[in-house]
Amino acid sequence: MNQLDTKKKSRRIFLQSGATLLLSVLVPKLSYAAQILAVRVWPAEEYTRVTLEGDVELKATQFLVKDPLRMVVDIDGLELNSTLKEIIAKIQSNDPYIKQVRVGQNRPNVVRLVFDLKEEINPQVFTLKPVGEYKYRLVFDLYPTNPVDPIAALIEKGQWLQEQPLAKSDPKASPPIAQAPTLPTPPTPSQLPSQAQTMPQPKLNPNPEAPLPGSSDLKNAPQLMRMITIALDPGHGGEDPGAVGRGGSYEKDVVLSIAKRLKAKIESQPNMRVFLTRDADFFVPLNVRVEKARKVQADLFMSIHADAFIETSARGSSVFALSDKGASSTAARWLANKENSADLIGGVNIKNHDKQLASVLLDLSTTAQISDSLKLGSAILGEIGGINRLHKGSVEQAGFAVLKAPDIPSVLIETAFISNPEEEAKLTDENYQNQMADAILKGINRYFAKKPPLAKNRLT
């Protein structure tokens, strides 16, 4: 090979190398497969959520099949790995909507999930951008096609008592603290005079002081005791753990335990019943918590939390109410912003989320509602101060989204700082949880002693 041929060959190799380098820069690699980092399943009666967390955004298509019922999901750009296979074991037998799940490599770069279903569902599939400690999330929310009404569900469980006959009280006994107004029971058809009884016309009663016919029936008829409905809202849940203590305690678990203890104590009262916005470990959007309380015509709404701060020395219990004029302190504003970000952490389907609801509810919130909330908060704060140090001795205010029910006195209770090791130990202690529940109940009774509930338009 002469010198000219050698130069031509070198030039050709150089051009080929340059072209290869240019293509590698301009054309992205198409063979990269996304990695599944975690799989989580959150079963609940309201809906089951399945979350796949990956290092890049995942794209999926899904369709429903009948006979038997199943949902088929194809995820593009994905290779089956051991983490994704964990989903099989995470479907429990008590899941209300999923029997089992099968997973496999359907074709190159496409993984197929097949969910065998227990009943017809209305699936919602959406993606979430990285937030907090989460990377990209692909979320499957499996809702029943016929959602159960919250009151109907509680009645079915035997947890929703109707208005109760008012027992004859002992004149020597003191009245209950939260004595509610009573309503007379209308007479039954058998108690009303029949047409035959009204003919002929009775003679006029010569004694004007004598009772009118039938009046004794009304006087002796049993009276109904107005049931007070209290909505308890354990904060966070599901994908949103809330604050995490140094010892590994999750806020969502602590506040659910306190709420359940408080529920049992409230229901021991003769004229009170309770509705929980969540009774298990699942995520509930902030606006849905408010909607639930309004659907059951709650007389009070109390959101229960366990505070956290960057400094572990922060300690004490607090109570907050809504403000339509700005936060009462920098700390209150900071906390409201943190609590209002729960939807981002928990994961809301933006397409179906009513963005206008929060602002509408704020506009409807009345001065009276906020005033009653402050009175309720003050009564509760006074009782909590007997079992734990108070972070601040008065009820604070800020724009908490979860307190924006326009017609329900609403407070947010920070039971203690879970970020403080000493208070974290308290929050996970059954005795302290019971003490906190007792204190809140005493605060409720103090509030109603000064402001008895008004009669409702209809009995529930």
Domains of the chain, with CATH numbers? Answer: 36-144 (2.60.40.3500), 228-450 (3.40.630.40)
Looking only at the bridges linking them, the beta strands covering 136-144 and 164-165 are: unpaired
Record the tokens describing residue 330, joined without a space: 């920098």
Percent of the chain residues past pLDDT 90, beyond the cut: 61
Q: How far is CA 318 from the centre of its chain?
A: 20
Where does the pLDDT of residue 32 fall: very low under 50, low under 70, confident under 90, or very high at 90 and above?
low
pTM of the predicted structure, to 2 decimals? 0.79
User: What are the start-end ranges of the H helices in 310-429?
Assistant: 330-340, 342-346, 356-364, 367-384, 421-427
Whether pLDDT at 261 is above 70: yes
Report how far residue 434's alpha carbon sits from residue 430's, in angstroms, rounded to the nearest whole number: 6
DSSP, residue by residue, 95-132: -SSEEEEEEEEEETTEEEEEEEESS-EEEEEEEE--BT
Which of 82-86, 134-138, 147-151, 311-315 is the least confident region? 147-151
Among the residue ranges 13-17, 161-165, 238-242, 441-445, the one predicted with the least confidence is 13-17
Half-sphere exposure of 357 (CA within 13 A, CB side): 17
More confident residue, 216 or 434: 434
C-alpha distances (whole Å) from 308 to each of 243, 259, 408, 419, 424 are 6, 19, 27, 5, 10
| Average pLDDT over all residues of the chain | 82
- Say if residue 13's pLDDT is above 90: no
State the pLDDT at residue 263. 97
Q: Per-residue pLDDT tens for 339-351?
A: 989 999 999 887 7
Phi, psi values for residue 147, rounded to 5°: -60, 140
Range from 19-23, 158-162, 334-338, 420-424 that averages highest in pLDDT: 420-424
User: Which H or E run contains 138?
Assistant: strand 136-144
| The predicted structure's pLDDT at residue 230 | 97
**Out of 135-149, 224-238, 352-366, 367-381, which region has the weakest mean confidence (pLDDT)?**
352-366
